[in-house]
Structure 1
Amino acid sequence: MKIGLYFGSFNPIHIGHLVIANHMAEHSELNEIWFVVTPHNPFKKKSSLLDNYQRLEMVHLATESYDKLKPSDIEFNLPQPNYTVNTLAYLQEKHPKHEFALIMGEDNLNSFHKWKNYEVILENHHIYVYPRISENKAPVHLLNHEKIHAVNAPIMQISSTNIRNAIKNSKNVRPLLPQQVWKYLDDMNFYR
């Protein structure tokens, strides 16, 4: 089975994340997309970042009605700070029958060469890239790499930061969030 790993803080998960993940599951060779919730770095003070398990709960709520989209807390138990190459090695060892690929925005491909052991990642895993509106276009040599696949997913101009700020300013963000996620945020009084 081919699994696409979609890493993020998902603070909160929004419809843009779901649109991209679902597009990858339906329009690429990937069978499932795992939302890998990245843990809070204990050395960084970020008051707007919800607790790991609160963010995981939102991903659970957002994906429960999608067969091909799954939440993952795999990084919660790995030593911090963690690197993607370590997560991939751990997952491959734990699930030897699965093939793991990365999902990333085109702008992230620009700094991919700075990732720890990026050559090892590229040697052993495919990368599925979705378009983003950004000045930072991916380097041509990477876009032409045999393991990198550009997927013509919809361009989503929705950001978790803007959603948090809107909630803080008492704006209605319901259309930007899955219904269950909006209800959870509202019930818990988050980001206010």
Structure 2
Amino acid sequence: MEVGLFFGSFNPIHTGHMIIANLVKETTSVDEVWFIVSPQNPFKKNKSLLHEFDRLDMVNAAIGDDYQFRSNDVEFNMPRPSYTIDTLTVLQEKYPEKKFHLIIGEDNLASFPKWKNHDQILEHFGLIVYPRPNSTKSELEKLENITIIDAPEVDISATLIRKLVKEGKSIKYLVPEAVEKLIKAKKHFQ
């Protein structure tokens, strides 16, 4: 079984994430997409980051009963900040029967060579890359273990969603309905 790994803070998970996950599932060899909730991104220090379990709850709400998507909290028990190669190694050891692929935005492709052990990620896992607004093309796109998918350039900002919630404005259609209900019930981002 082939699994696409979609890492993110998901603060909150939004419709853009779900669109990309669905297109990866529908247009590549991937059988499932796993949302890997990251407790702390080594490149981002975010004071408005909800607790990791709250973000995991929102991912689970977004997924609902869709069997082709799963959430994963593997990084919750890893040293922080966690690096992608370390998480991939843990997942491969835990699930040796699965073939994992890393899903990233085109905006991250240019900086990918700066990632810890990027060459091992490319060699052993490969990348599935989705378009992002204002991204510049990378020479890496030509490499064998990189798949570029055709997808809309979804530019939904979690920052905007948090701002709207704080201002008491609607986030309808920006997040899945179940996520919107959870945000309201738990008073997240207020």
C-alpha RMSD of the superposition: 1.5
Which residue number in structure 1 is paired with residue 39 of structure 2?
39
Which residue number in structure 1 is paired with residue 184 of structure 2?
186
Task: Summarize the Cα distance change of 1:103–1:45 in structure 2 as closer, same or farther, 3 Å threshold.
Answer: closer
Shift of 1:41: 6.6
AA partner of residue 124 (structure 2): N
Q: Distance in 2 between matches of 1:92 and 1:132?
A: 28
Which residue number in structure 1 is paired with residue 136 of structure 2?
137
The Cα offsets for residues 71-106 of structure 1, whole Å up to 9 and x where unpaired, read as 110111111121111111111111000001000110
**Normalised TM-score (structure 2):** 0.95
Q: Distance in 1 between matches of 2:78 and 2:5?
A: 16
Q: Distance in 2 between matches of 1:26 and 1:36?
A: 19
Q: Distance in 1 between matches of 2:41 and 2:20?
A: 26
Count of aligned residue pairs for this structure pair = 189
The correspondence for 1:147, drawn from 125, 145, 151, is: 145
Give secondary structure in 1 for the equivalent of 2:173: helix
Instruction: Confirm or deny: 8 A CA contact 1:40 1:51 kept in the other structure.
Output: no
Q: Distance in 2 between matches of 1:77 and 1:53?
A: 12
Q: Distance in 1 between matches of 2:66 and 2:105?
A: 22
The Cα offsets for residues 44-65 of structure 1, whole Å up to 9 and x where unpaired, read as 8643110000000000010023
Which residue number in structure 2 is paired with residue 123 of structure 1?
123
Q: Distance in 2 between matches of 1:45 and 1:59?
A: 21
Query: What percentage of aligned pairs have identical amino acids?
Result: 46
Q: Distance in 2 between matches of 1:63 and 1:10?
A: 13
- Please, which runs of 5 or more residues in structure 1 have no aligned partner? none
Give secondary structure in 2 for the equivalent of 1:36: strand
Q: Distance in 1 between matches of 2:29 and 2:174?
A: 28
Instruction: Confirm or deny: 8 A CA contact 2:131 2:153 kept in the other structure.
Output: yes
Q: Distance in 1 between matches of 2:105 and 2:46?
A: 23
Which residue number in structure 1 is paired with residue 76 of structure 2?
76
- 2:55 counterpart of 1:67: no
Task: Summarize the Cα distance change of 1:41–1:27 in structure 2 as closer, same or farther, 3 Å threshold.
Answer: closer
Instruction: Confirm or deny: 8 A CA contact 2:40 2:82 kept in the other structure.
Output: no
Instruction: Confirm or deny: 8 A CA contact 2:41 2:82 kept in the other structure.
Output: no
Instruction: Confirm or deny: 8 A CA contact 1:5 1:36 kept in the other structure.
Output: yes
**Normalised TM-score (structure 1):** 0.94
AA partner of residue 103 (structure 1): I
